[in-house]
Amino acid sequence: MKDFISMVQADTLFIENIISLSSFLKEKQKKGELYRPLKGFTAALIFEKPSTRTRVSFEVGVYQLGGHGVYMDTRSSQLGRGEPIKDTARVLSRYVDLIVIRTFGQGRVEELAKYSNVPVINALTDEEHPCQVLADLFTIWEYKRNLKGLKVAYLGDGNNMCNSWLIGAAYAGMKFYAATPEGFEPLKEYVEKAKEIAKETGAEIVLTHDPVKAVKDADVIYTDVWASMGQEEEAEKRKQIFMPYQVNAELVKHAKPDFLFMHCLPAHRGEEVTNEVIEGERSVVWDQAENRLHTQKALMLKLVRKTTF
């Protein structure tokens, strides 16, 4: 694998390998042991969308592995003046060892990867958020020591998170129930691909409009904001549509007693989740956020140094 621009590029072995390597890297950091296999390595970090966790985790991750990250946004690069993404790819490939991009259309990442001679990582598009799902799977594994057969209930908008989760859950052999309002389902191609993968892995992929059905006996309850970046004008309208999918104390009673609550953050308390749940004892959102650092370090090592575990 040269690039990681879609969760579809993964497979069961890839996910297992990332989890093992992430665990190794996290343990080294906890012990305060320096591990710098990317000394002299440079990464270009292109951010055309705002970011907190993604930007900081990649910048810190590159540094901790001994490398250097060069942050670029549209205001401080020629991309903001209309330079074609393929030209940027060909130029950066001669300067850096890796390109990380957070942008809008999935096609933009695909074109960057096509013309780049170095690995490209998708740090979020309107269609996918694969790095987040790797961190999510690692977090669940830390708590459950297993993924196969676990039930994940995803509630809310069938957005980029839901698309990537469909594929990740399918490869991991999980039961993935996505509960969305009518008209807000995940993209059909991701649903079909997930079901195709499920035939090989024993996963279960279910789409429903019933949040209780999704949450019943769930091991993990997952949600995301109701209005993603670029949808701010729809926020008020979406609140009315999505309120039945709010993760609150009443809804989580249907899950297993030891369920994990997850959210990719930032969270809008009182909308997709209540303060009581996100601050409750079943919430693992802070571990989940931390694990972005460890899984992205693992991903960079795998792509650049072909490290396996």
229 appears as a binding residue in the annotation: yes
Q: What secondary structure does DSSP assign to 49-72, as a single string?
A: S--SHHHHHHHHHHHHTT-EEEEE
294 appears as a binding residue in the annotation: no
Catalytic residue among 102, 108, 263, 294: 102
228 appears as a binding residue in the annotation: yes
Q: Residue 135 to residues 1, 14, 128, 139, 214: CA-CA distances in angstroms?
A: 19, 13, 14, 6, 22
Catalytic residue among 162, 292, 294, 296: 292
Task: Report the b/e string of 122-159 with b at 16+ CB within 10 A.
Answer: bbbbbbbbbbbbbbbbbbbbbeeeebeebbbbbbbbbb
Catalytic residue among 3, 136, 157, 224: 224
94 appears as a binding residue in the annotation: no
130 appears as a binding residue in the annotation: yes
231 appears as a binding residue in the annotation: no
Q: Does the active-site annotation cover 264? A: yes
Q: Does the active-site annotation cover 129? A: yes
129 appears as a binding residue in the annotation: yes
List helix spans (H) across the chain: 12-30, 53-64, 85-92, 106-115, 130-144, 160-172, 188-201, 211-215, 235-242, 275-278, 285-304
Catalytic residue among 3, 126, 132, 238: 132
45 appears as a binding residue in the annotation: no
Helix (H, G, I), strand (E, B) or coil at 223: strand
Q: Residue written as tokens 């079909």?
A: 192
1 appears as a binding residue in the annotation: no
54 appears as a binding residue in the annotation: yes
| Single-letter code of the amino acid located at 308 | T
Q: Does the active-site annotation cover 132? A: yes
Six-digit token string for 71: 């942050």
Catalytic residue among 55, 264, 288, 296: 264
Catalytic residue among 129, 238, 263, 294: 129
Q: Does the active-site annotation cover 97? A: no
Q: Does the active-site annotation cover 292? A: yes
92 appears as a binding residue in the annotation: no
Q: Which residues are tagged catalytic?
A: 102, 129, 132, 224, 264, 292
Q: Binding-site residues for carbamoyl phosphate, please?
A: 51-54, 78, 102, 129-132, 264-265, 292
Q: Binding-site residues for L-ornithine, please?
A: 160, 224, 228-229
Q: Binding-site residues, please?
A: 51-54, 78, 102, 129-132, 160, 224, 228-229, 264-265, 292
